[in-house]
Amino acid sequence: IQKMVQKVNHIPEKFSELPNVAAICVYPVFISLVKDSLSDKTVKIASVGASFPSSQTFTDVKMLEIERIIGEGADEIDIVLPVGKFLEGDYEEIFKEISKIKALMGKKHLKVILETATLEDPVLIRRASLLCLEAGADFIKTSTGKNDAGASPEALYIMCEAVKDFHASTGEVRGIKPAGGISDSSTAIMYYLIVNEVLGNEWLNSDRFRIGASRLANNLLGEKYF
């Protein structure tokens, strides 16, 4: 973890023409280590919570973990849609749970991971996207990266359409994040172009669009940096 943080700290001097990464994401036990080691304060500290990556525990347990993560100093938290409950149609309980987590987090960014490869059906991906956005997700994200299948262009397109429709109906801006299996520049460009096509140029910044992939950073920098 320290080695990764030091590499991030040195990006501005080694690659002065490039912006730094948007965030470093670690398990909760490493938040304090990153906080103490990170010198580039433009980089956010993100962590995973609420029974990541399965999301299969009680809401009160999830809330306790989120509260602890906030106390440790995380700027952003990634949680996973409880896919089992979603597939059972328990939308109201999911909405309440995500809303409670967002209320506890306040202005800190909440990213909700849909595990789109598990949902598969385009209708379900759109439904899950809108449910999470309505519940308060600041970002919706394709995948945890813990399953065999990660992001797909089709899933991201559907999610972008949901973000666009949500913005049109509410005026609220939410972010989008493909993750899982994105390790080369051509794949990254494909996702970049999807976001540009559906959401437009104003979404092409780290406040609205992220790619979750440290291997991609290595390849883009042209060396085994991370």
- CA–CA gap between residue 119 and residue 107 (Å, rounded): 29
SS3 state at 64: helix
Q: Let me know if 177 is a catalytic residue.
A: yes
Distances from the Cα of 92 to the Cα of 47, 74, 95, 135, angstroms: 26, 28, 5, 10
Q: Let me know if 96 is a catalytic residue.
A: no
For Cα atoms 164, 75, 115, give the angle at the middle one, nearest 5 degrees: 50
Q: How far is residue 83 CA from its own chain's centroid?
A: 16
Which one from 62, 102, 111, 141 is the annotated catalytic residue? Answer: 141
Q: Let me know if 224 is a catalytic residue.
A: no
Which one from 7, 62, 78, 111 is the annotated catalytic residue? Answer: 78
- CA–CA gap between residue 91 and residue 17 (Å, rounded): 45
Contacts 24+ apart (CB under 8 A), 187-194: 187/216, 188/213, 188/216, 188/220, 190/153, 191/151, 191/153, 191/156, 194/153, 194/156, 194/157, 194/160
Q: What positions carry a catalytic annotation?
A: 78, 141, 177
